[in-house]
Amino acid sequence: MAPAIEFPEPFLAFLKENNLSLDEYAFEVPLPRYIRVKPQLAAALDINAVEAELGTPLTKVDWLDGFYRLRGDVNIANSALFKRGSFYGICVSSGVAVHALDVAPDDHVLDLCCAPGMKLCYVADLQGSDGQGTVTGVDLSPDRIAVCKGLLKKYRLERARLFIADGTKFDVYAPSQVGKSAVTPSLLSSGSAIRSHESVIDDAVDLDADQVSLPTNSLSSTIHCIPSRTEAGTGAKTKPFHATRLIRNDPQLKLPSLLYDKVLVDAECTHDGSIVHLLKKAILGWSDIEQNFLNPSRLETLEGLQRGLISNGYRLLKPGGILVYSTCSFAKKQNEDIVAWFLKQHPDAQLEPIPGVDKFPLARSLVNDYPEMDLSYTIRFSPIASRTSGLFIARIRKGK
């Protein structure tokens, strides 16, 4: 079968340089699209009514909860149910990246490259409304973060905040205050409780110096550090672009116990596996992707950016926490090469299998290209094998 998209020469050169085959793009157009029904509304939502409104059958995705497949040419934007926030559009392969985090109700989650924001919504769905968990989104683009803000409001996320920042340098820890209560950092034990916020700061400041050690630059350090009152959050803060009411007044403490439970690094990449993105470029023109993603100077800096993102995400992750690294590229340089480099830098880090992986319709693995490194738990989705956009995913556990 011929490729479904007619690519320009710079893109073909990129494929050749990265040993990628045009066969990856020999899929039937259009690919299916996917929606996720908000779990709070799932019981009351009549799927037959959704099918009638959209004018297409919905097929439940049996390997990822809450997802439905529909015809790729269906426009969901005009749906009244969509406008009311009953469901949202997100490719099921991107859903797996969030699923791999194994989000719990009380988890504090960092999405280090959050735009356009659908993964933020999915994280919040998994946290539910009863816990104390929060989601923090970071993106460098003001325009893209503004889109995220619109989604947060539309889907009524209650414990979320957004920052315009460089993900390789972002340094705001998880919220210590949710609503009127403080999430007490576990200073000397692994337990947790909810107490008044002032008492948390007082405890942090009043401990004797010989009970603590100064922080180190080691990403694998588990030493507890107690801040001064100024360091505990009464000094200058990084102003969020947007924060929902329950975490708007967070003082931004920097206790090690306020590192994030889960971190998602859906890294900037060349987008060569994002079929929706490529189909748009085939219609609107390729100048943007050639200038911003495929020009030589951009490709030279991309590896450093991806290394910086995964490294900073790991630095902000709690010992024992989970980091998920993903891209929508087929290129090994942006995927397996990055993970292999990272694991060499951090011997305490361990690749882990993604829950439910045996049910996923996966593309061929490239792990045999790495005989000196066990990358067997990394996975790939592709249009042909998975009927989704291309996605690479690795789940990494931080050592304790």
pLDDT digits (tens, 9 = 90+) for 207-233: 233 333 333 333 333 223 333 333 444
pTM: 0.85
| Residue 60, pLDDT above cutoff 90 | yes
- Greater confidence (76 vs 235) lies with 76
Of 138-147, 184-193, 307-316, which range is least confident?
A: 184-193
- Greater confidence (372 vs 44) lies with 372
Residue 50 lies in a domain: no
Residue 81 lies in a domain: no
- Whole-number Å distance between alpha carbons of 239 and 245: 14
The per-residue pLDDT for 39 is 86
65 contact partners, CB below 8 Å, separation of at least 6: none
Answer whether 25's CB lies under 8 Å from 5's CB: yes
Residue 37 lies in a domain: no
The per-residue pLDDT for 184 is 53
Residue 261 lies in a domain: yes
| Residue 6, pLDDT above cutoff 70 | yes
Q: 202: pLDDT confidence band, cut at 50, 70 and 90?
A: very low
Most confident of 189-193, 219-223, 302-306: 302-306
Give per-residue pLDDT as tens, 131-180.
999 999 999 999 999 999 999 999 999 999 999 999 999 999 999 989 87
The per-residue pLDDT for 172 is 98
Q: What percent of the chain has pLDDT over 90?
A: 65
Residue 136 lies in a domain: yes
Give the domain CATH number at 391. Answer: 3.40.50.150
What spatial distance separates the first Cα and last Cα of the chain, rounded to whole Å?
49
Written as six digits, the tokens of 365 are 């693995």
Residue 174 lies in a domain: yes
Could you list the residues known to form a binding site for S-adenosyl-L-methionine, using ranges.
Answer: 139, 166, 266
| Residue 27, pLDDT above cutoff 70 | yes
Residue 370 lies in a domain: yes
The per-residue pLDDT for 121 is 96
User: Which residue, 182, 221, 175, 225, is CA-closest to 205?
Assistant: 225
225 is catalytic: no
The per-residue pLDDT for 217 is 35
| Residue 266, pLDDT above cutoff 60 | yes
| Residue 283, pLDDT above cutoff 90 | no
User: Which residue, 382, 343, 334, 307, is CA-closest to 96?
Assistant: 382
Could you list the residues known to form a binding site, using ranges.
Answer: 139, 166, 266
Q: 309: pLDDT confidence band, cut at 50, 70 and 90?
A: very high
- Kindly list the distances between the CA atom of residue 52 and the CA atoms of 31, 47, 57, 79, 82, in Å, as whole numbers in the listed order: 21, 9, 8, 10, 13
The per-residue pLDDT for 187 is 36
Q: Name the amino acid, one letter, at 2.
A: A
The per-residue pLDDT for 147 is 96
- Whole-number Å distance between alpha carbons of 389 and 93: 7
| Residue 288, pLDDT above cutoff 80 | no
Answer whether 192's CB lies under 8 Å from 167's CB: no
The per-residue pLDDT for 241 is 97
75 DSSP assignment? -
Residue 234's domain spans which residues?
A: 1-30+90-400
Task: Assign 3-class secondary structure to 154-223.
Answer: HCCCCCEEEEECCCCCCCCCCCCEECCEEECCCCCCCCCCEECHHHHHHHHHHCCHHHCCCCCCCCCCCC
Selected catalytic residue, list 91, 113, 269, 328:
328
The per-residue pLDDT for 2 is 66
Q: 22: pLDDT confidence band, cut at 50, 70 and 90?
A: confident
| Residue 234, pLDDT above cutoff 80 | no
Give per-residue pLDDT as tens, 37-51.
988 887 778 889 899
| Residue 188, pLDDT above cutoff 60 | no
Answer whether 111's CB lies under 8 Å from 135's CB: yes
Q: What percent of the chain has pLDDT over 70?
A: 86
| Other CB atoms within 10 Å distance of the CB of residue 287 | 10
Q: Which residue has the tokens 């304790």?
A: 400
Per the structure, the count of domains in the chain is 1
Of 67-71, 152-156, 229-233, 317-321, which range is least confident?
A: 229-233
Mean pLDDT in residue range 335-348: 97
The per-residue pLDDT for 314 is 99
Residue 181 lies in a domain: yes
